[in-house]
């Protein structure tokens, strides 16, 4: 009855139960934290071009170019259950073809212990701002918003939107290849 294997099994089961309880406590202690913070996004330069798509059809689509400023202090988001933050800047707009367009333009990973105060000026987008048609030219309602995922040690992966949006418009004329 009290063999070495049965005692080892009881010890292992008890250890796993304690670890599962501690992991749940880690999750529960930070579940109700409000991870929303203020972020200030501003566009510096906005240009739209009409260029050939790289698909087989070779039709021309709109390609937007942005330069933006971003300020956010995310140091208070880090707690003992947060390993890292995955930040991304999203542009949302409407076109006659699609009622909702969302494009990720920039992203950054901030690890625990790194400087979580972001203050970048006149930075270019990291990814292309393609539209699947001609919906960027003279679009008056494009919104930039900073979002982030809090990567926890234990628990859910929340998707958080920052307080503060920036709305801008694209020009009514296409930029020439040399002019932008």
Model confidence pLDDT, tens digit, residues 70-96: 999 999 999 988 999 999 999 999 998
Does residue 67 share a domain with residue 13? no
Does residue 74 share a domain with residue 45? yes
Does residue 123 share a domain with residue 60? yes
Domain membership flag for residue 86: yes
The count of domains in the chain is: 2
Q: Which two tokens stand for residue 180?
A: 């932008």
Q: What are the DSSP E strand ranges found in the chain?
A: 39-52, 60-73, 82-93, 101-111, 117-124, 129-130, 142-152, 159-161, 166-168
Which pLDDT score is estimated for 133? 84
Model confidence over 28-82: pLDDT tens digits? 888 888 889 999 999 999 999 988 877 666 788 899 999 999 999 999 999 988 9
Does residue 70 share a domain with residue 25? no
Task: Print the domain residue range for 48.
Answer: 35-168
- In DSSP terms, 50 is beta-bridged to 62
Task: Identify the CA nearest to 86 among candidates 34, 158, 144.
Answer: 158
pLDDT above 90 for 179: no
Does residue 20 share a domain with residue 3? yes
Residue 111, domain CATH: 2.60.40
Does residue 22 share a domain with residue 103? no
How close are the terminal C-alpha atoms of the chain, in Å?
82
């Amino acid at each position: 009855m009290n063999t070495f294997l049965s005692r080892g099994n009881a010890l292992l089961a008890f250890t796993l139960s304690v670890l599962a309880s501690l992991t749940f406590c880690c999750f529960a202690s930070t579940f109700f934290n409000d991870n929303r913070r203020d972020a200030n996004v501003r566009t510096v330069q906005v240009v739209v071009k009409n260029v050939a798509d790289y698909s087989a059809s070779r039709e021309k689509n709109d390609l937007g170019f942005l330069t933006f400023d971003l300020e956010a202090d995310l140091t208070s988001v880090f707690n003992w259950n947060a390993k890292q933050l995955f930040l991304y800047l999203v542009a949302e707009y409407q076109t006659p073809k699609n009622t909702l367009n969302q494009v990720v333009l920039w992203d950054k990973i901030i690890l625990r212990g790194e400087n979580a105060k972001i203050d970048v000026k006149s930075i270019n987008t990291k990814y292309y701002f393609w539209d699947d048609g001609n919906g960027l030219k003279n679009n008056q309602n494009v919104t930039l918003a900073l979002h982030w995922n809090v990567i926890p040690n234990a628990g859910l992966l929340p998707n958080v939107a920052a307080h503060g949006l920036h709305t801008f418009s694209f020009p009514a004329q296409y930029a020439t290849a040399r002019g932008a």
